[in-house]
Amino acid sequence: MALLKIRKFPDPVLKEPARLVENIDGKLAGFIDSMVQTMYAAPGVGLAAPQVGESSRVIVIDVEHENPGKHLLKLINPEIVETHGSILWEEGCLSVVDFTADVKRAKEVLVRAWTPEQEEVEIEADDLLAVALQHEIDHLEGKLFIDRISRIKRELYRRKLKKMIRDGEFEKAKSPSVLI
């Protein structure tokens, strides 16, 4: 199982809406396991396939780092079917270097998806897990958390990023510690 390369903003693959998965097979299961290893190695609590350059609707999430694997989710074609309430959460992303911001999300979500075992599942989540599900499903729409903050904050980040690229600091830059 190989670790996959995590794509960073402004890589164009992160802006593309991902394709629906039509076949759940062994090849897909192998790819999802590589995503899981890549997420743990990063380390992060979630990863969406476009973040490793594969534009398809697959996400992995494990918000419990104390017990890795116990609550691991591998979700195919996930869809948010219900939301309740709202919550402000400080988000960071493995694909957005050196930046975090408060993002308003639903506090609770109900998500429907398929598993690599070809079962349809429903997941009820709140707080961090709900935030992570919304953040990863956004990735499948070609949307990053920086698309959900004010224009002025986003512009300031773009400017900082340009400077980092110009100064050769982009490759070395680490993402922040809370990573979805």
Residue positions annotated with a catalytic role:
136
The minimum distance between CB 8 and Ni ion, in angstroms, equals 11
Give min distance, CB of 68 to Ni ion, in A: 19
Cα 99 to Cα 1: distance, rounded to the nearest angstrom:
30
Q: Which is nearer to Ni ion, 77 or 134 (CB)?
A: 134
| Contact set with Ni ion (CB under 5 A) | 93, 180
Identify the residue whose tokens are 């510690």.
Answer: 177
* Residue 99 or 114 having the CB closest to Ni ion: 99
| Distance of closest approach, residue 119 Cβ to Ni ion, in angstroms | 26
Residue 94 neighbours by CB under 8 Å, 6+ apart: 6, 39, 42, 44, 47, 51, 175, 179, 180
Task: Centre a 10 Å sphere on the Cβ of residue 82 and count the other Cβ atoms it contains.
Answer: 12
Task: Closer to Ni ion by CB, 24 or 131: give it.
Answer: 131
